[in-house]
Amino acid sequence: MAHQSSDLTTSLTRQGQLNSANDARALYLKLFSGEMFKGFQNNAIARDLVMKRTLKNGKSLQFIYTGRTTAEYHTPGNAILGNSDGAPPVAEKTITIDDLLISSAFVYELDETLAHYELRGEISKKIGYALAEKYDRLIFRAIAKGARQASPITKANFVEPGGTQIQLTRSGVTNATAAYDSECLINGFYDAAAALDEKGISTEGRVGVLNPRQYYELIQAVGSNGLVNRDEQGDSLQKGNGIIEIAGIKIYKSMNIPFFGKYGTIYGTAGDTNPGVTSPGNVGSFIEAAAEDGRASVTGINNNYGNSTDFANSCGLIFQKEAAGVVEAIGPQVQVTSGDVSVVYQGDVILGRLAMGADFLNPAACVELLAGAAAGSTNNAAFGTTYPCLLYTSPSPRDRTRSRMPSSA
């Protein structure tokens, strides 16, 4: 028995067709793609704060370091034959592409038809969020790694500066609670700026990334502790956007930075690895997520992003654009099943994918803020290819015994 007749037809207006031809869902796909990219771009802040390169026809990309050389006055009559020390020295850094990173969902066609909202758009945003979250976390972990490393330039008499760890502390605040102490944070920013200046790092592109609570602690300190915002002084407390920069370092907030072995925040009793914040309750399963194992031995990972224990006292990052590099073989994009597959399963698999790798580039441009333990201690030591780095403590300028001397590495 036939349910349809081709003898009596009507002209259809297919809203998903481009110029009333070809794929009846072409425009739906474009709408979804746009939603996915919007979700990714709105949540990935690290992508534009570091060096980004696109890789084709290869598995890794090399970055070249060139060290410094010297200058001297010419003696008349002497031949100029180049530096006898072979300077400037040259070294390299290789970033390898990790395996394909994916986020997907199956949309049953009937569910999509019955839904009173635009189903694909909502799903696409979540896919974009998931990719952006992973993207930022890998880059931030790479920067923390760089803060613990020396420069690859190790030629005698031409050693280049390495990374910096700054311990947040002041009189009466010595454990992890310093991570939320506005005075400690402000001192840490000024110490970081000084260290970057001393190491010859450009002032252009310097940024700091803190968690939301740290950011709002700084806002509450506007007008005190020498912290003045030139644009938002009057209503900074009301708007929640009162801090633009400290010591020329622009400040961002993110829930994707390593924070005492977690991502973004941690709740509990104050101690050496916990700043002692009470949970607001009903935070869900994705808040206070533990930093997963990101070592190269993990399937899919070809770089070394460390393990959760490597970030047991990490509580903020300050860096300049040259601190890290991200290499993309496949930028964030969308794939959707169609044709026979859609017919068989009566729906579509929506796939967001990305192929990238990240690592530190110039360790001198990396600064890691620590609280609750000394820089270079067991939980804050270098991982991956290990080099010693320059370590600081950041006491208050109000303390009588002020010391900003590097500790032994």
Q: Is the pLDDT of residue 114 over 90?
A: no
pLDDT in tens, 123-132: 888 898 999 9
pLDDT in tens, 342-391: 888 888 888 999 999 999 999 999 999 999 876 666 667 777 654 444 44
Structural domain for 44, as ranges: 26-67+88-279+288-394
Q: Is residue 73 included in any domain, yes or no? A: no
The pLDDT of residue 222: 72
- Looking up residue 335, the CATH number of its domain turns out to be 3.90.1690
Three-class DSSP labels, the chain = CCCCCCCCCCCCCCCCCECCECCCCHHHHHHHHHHHHHHHHHHCCHHHCCEEEECCCCCEEEEEEECCCCCCCCCCCCCCCCCCCCCCCEEEEEEECCCCEEEEEEEEHHHHHHCCCCHHHHHHHHHHHHHHHHHHHHHHHHHHHHCCCCCCCCCCCCCCCCCEEEEECECCECCHHHHHCHHHHHHHHHHHHHHHHHCCCCCCCCEEEECHHHHHHHHHCCCCCCCCCCCCCCCHHHHCCCCCEECCEEEEECCCCEECCEECCCCCCCECCECCCCCCCCCCCCCCCECCCCCCCCCCCCCCCCCHHHHCCEEEEEECHHHEEEEEEEEEEEEECCCHHHHHHCEEEEEEEEEEEEEECCHHHEEEEECCCCCCCHHHCCCCCCCCCEEEEECCCCCCCCCCCCCCC
Which carries the bigger pLDDT value, residue 82 or residue 101?
Answer: 101
Q: Is the pLDDT of residue 68 over 90?
A: no
Please give the share of the chain, as a percent, with pLDDT higher than 70.
Answer: 79
Q: Is residue 218 included in any domain, yes or no? A: yes
pTM assigned to the model: 0.83
Q: Is the pLDDT of residue 323 over 50?
A: yes
Q: Is residue 178 included in any domain, yes or no? A: yes
Mean pLDDT of the chain: 83
Q: Is the pLDDT of residue 58 over 50?
A: yes
Q: Is residue 15 included in any domain, yes or no? A: no
Q: Is residue 7 included in any domain, yes or no? A: no
Span 258-268, average pLDDT? 95
Contacts (Cβ under 8 Å, ≥6 apart) of 254:
45, 46, 136, 140, 209, 210, 211, 264
The pLDDT of residue 226: 60
Q: Is residue 373 included in any domain, yes or no? A: yes
pLDDT in tens, 181-195: 999 999 999 999 999
Q: Is residue 20 included in any domain, yes or no? A: no
- Number of separate domains in the chain: 1
The pLDDT of residue 28: 61
Q: Is residue 14 included in any domain, yes or no? A: no
Q: Is the pLDDT of residue 268 over 80?
A: yes
Q: Is the pLDDT of residue 228 over 60?
A: no
Q: Is the pLDDT of residue 219 over 60?
A: yes
